[in-house]
Structure 1
Amino acid sequence: MSTETVTIGRLGSGGDGIAPGPDGPIYVPFTLPGETVAIARVKNQGTVISTSVASADRIAPACHHFGPEGRNGTCGGCSLQHASDTLYREFKRGIVADALKAKGLSATVAPLIPCAPGERRRVVFTVRKTEKGMLLGFNQAGSHHIVDIDRCPVASPGIVSRLDVLRALAAAIATDSQGFRLTVLETLSGLDIAFEGVRKVGDKQRRAVTECVLALRGIARVSSDAEVLIEPQKPQLDFGGVLVAPPPGGFTQATKEAEDAMAALVLGHVGKAKRVADLFSGSGTFALRMARGARVHAVEGDDRALKALDHAARHAQGLKPVTVEKRDLFRRPLMASELKAFDAVVFDPPRAGAEDQCRELARSGVKKIAAVSCNPVTLARDLAILVAGGYRITGVTPIDQFLWSPHVEAVATLEK
């Protein structure tokens, strides 16, 4: 370990400040561009000892669990609470712009659609049983240490106000001191709680969870590794006026506000298309909204998500026909010949992107494409494939739904 003074030049893609060093970049968490800090350095990682020059963009964090002074350790749920809104938003926009530039794409990136505190309806906690009780919170950055939280300015009030309930349910299902995950989704009918990684869930744990839920209010469902343990009522989400019951532990957008913003961009681009393919459709975030004005073919590899979409479409009024297809688009993308049937295509893949599917789209004659992504790097790769195939990027909009983190969504629109 060495001690030295450095000046932060920029923020890295993970949110750490980066200073030039004799052997390459030095990464210093909780710093901002322009700051001069004394650090203790181990290889290329620095820990702040003191600050001699602070940035004008430095603000007080919103949460007492944040940063090196955080209660019970540094909560790893956020990395940028110390940055002003202006710096933070430009940083997130820059992540998308830099990814496009790295692929030689010159598209203009719109200002970030921001996210406000308290909007997160879906939160993934780490929990562990100890002799003193249940730890529930987020892992410290780069560590398995769980920072036990008593508040979270990112999460919705409906989740924060029930942290004790989540601890009680975790205690009911825990079988040993091994850590596991608890995903909570706030739905229209109550909290949907999904455990993952709990070992040996037996009759004792099932009874304890059931008794706990029956003694409480506001719990719609509890599941463990996709197995429903108790479901007093179906969890429901509203996808543009269509009610959907997502599968246990299934993917949903983290905030309703970001979902609505993405949907508005997608629907605005698709416009009056009469036949649309929604690829990696999930439970119907976009498909069910688009079906108000177009015939939609939804393709998804997750059978449970596809069944939720299909059930919702069949029981909704005022929709054009919605067809569904279970298909692994990574192994079997829709071919250019199959894409001839569609006026527009929407795709929203996992972080790995949709490389093979984009190669087929590039060969197709589909007039309009809307690409939704949670990974700017793979989005840029996929867009480069489409541009090489003759498409023109008409817009790229970054959207924030993981407040104070380096994660950013984006919607890109293309035409041929």
Structure 2
Amino acid sequence: MNSLAHPQLRFTPTVKDPDGPRELILLGSTGSIGTQAIDVVLRNPDRFRVVGLSAAGGRVELLAEQALTLGVHTVAVADEAAVPALRAALAAKAAGRALPAILAGPDAATELAAMECHSVLNGITGSIGLRPTLAALRAGRVLVLANKESLIVGGPLVKALARPGQIVPVDSEHTAIFQALAGGSRAEVRKLVVTASGGPFRGRSREELAAVTPADALAHPTWAMGPVITINSATLVNKGLEVIEAHLLYDVPFDRIEVVVHPQSIVHSMVEFTDGSTLAQASPPDMRMPISLGLGWPDRVADAAPGCDWTKAATWEFFPLDNEAFPAVELAREVGRLGGTAPAVFNAANEECVDAFLKGALPFTGIVDTVAKVVAEHGTPAEGTSLTVEDVLHTETWARARARELAAG
């Protein structure tokens, strides 16, 4: 079995840790994961040094400030039109500090991901993170993976490149499983239990969900996230993606990956072992903990995030998932079993349907219903062993176009 991420499997990166701080490249530095990773780095200058940053290009002032504060040697920006503004921002803020080199264009993050460092944190949002993921793996770096889409849409490609233990996950659910797996051998694992907050609509019936508005769906009870992932959490599409991700990361069959609703979001996921014991990882919702574990693995980073306050009374609840009201998880299981380009269809169609919902063109329940139609039209894909990046991108283009057609009615 090829376990891409398992705590008992230690991958030795091409670039070994220097005597000083571990060198990192952060992709998606101006997003939520990137900014929190920088917070971890700045509070631990003896542990980490960032040598490269990438961003889409929409927040050049922040990117320039990050680059100069961290003293990186290279900045990559996807939008070439943003380069003049980035240069100007760097020059204005430099105050005598050395200016970094700038890479620009759609392949800039991919080029940066292959540069010399110890670890690459991929915090890019969406399947555009696939090429940088592959570049980091090909270069022999430790891949600290927050960009779940690149693994989901390019599963066979990633598995063909990644050596066991080369990927350290950052999703709170998968870093929880990663830690719990240290409590036993692979042969002793009975099932993985992925927790879900249930989103803002836990307990509602499918009929009640039909009237949900975008404003309702964007009000997540636990996490502050971007609009797409917030809607994905409300539909539980995000949990379906995490089931596929867990299967790919840990090589556990889909029928041994369970989803349970846990509204408090303190237990981030669990592993049940063959003797009946279950190990859970618990901490208050704070992404700096899984980010720090990914950056520092196999060592923890002290005081990365607050722990549970055991002096206060608390109640943790767990509920079974209502698959009738929230069919996204079962659809994701079906897609994961199909493999090949089917996960790319699922992910791309969903992004288009979320956009249509936010614009008022689809009802809330129509998001997953439309995704299911696009998946059904795609049919059974060919074996994924011959999958290429071009196959994934071509399939995504078709799925997006078809989802837009169906959403337009």
- Taking structure 2 as the reference length, the TM-score comes to 0.27
So what's the TM-score if we normalise by structure 1?
0.27
Whose RCO is larger (CA < 8 A, sep 6+)? 2
More strand by share: 1
Between Structure 1 and Structure 2, whose CA radius of gyration is higher? 1
